[in-house]
Structure 1
């Protein structure tokens, strides 16, 4: 290994090794909860939009439609 520190994969392998030696469950693979985190962020944005009185969904699609076809909306 070169002079840098550990990356996420190295840390995961070390944590998995330690967990196996101690009879504990292995930690989740790096990135395993990325999709869940993105969905939670999206849901939070939608919730905030509703509280602010804005449409909760379709904002990106509407913005793209306005940009691609300015006279259509």
Structure 2
């Protein structure tokens, strides 16, 4: 990657899941660190990811698991 390409990449990304701000990831020497902006995603707080896309997939998995649990509780009652 050239210096110009490296500089063109962002150092922070907002992760949104279904119109909810899950958090942000910031670039550091090891990759991307997640900072939660909503309680639902606190389990990802401080986790290191190799890419912003990987962090987004993790946030989607948290959201999907929470939705699945909520649905199963509705049907259990």
Larger radius of gyration: 1
TM-score over 0.5 for the pair: no
TM-score (norm. length: structure 1): 0.35
Bigger fraction of residues in strand: 2
Bigger fraction of residues in helix: 1
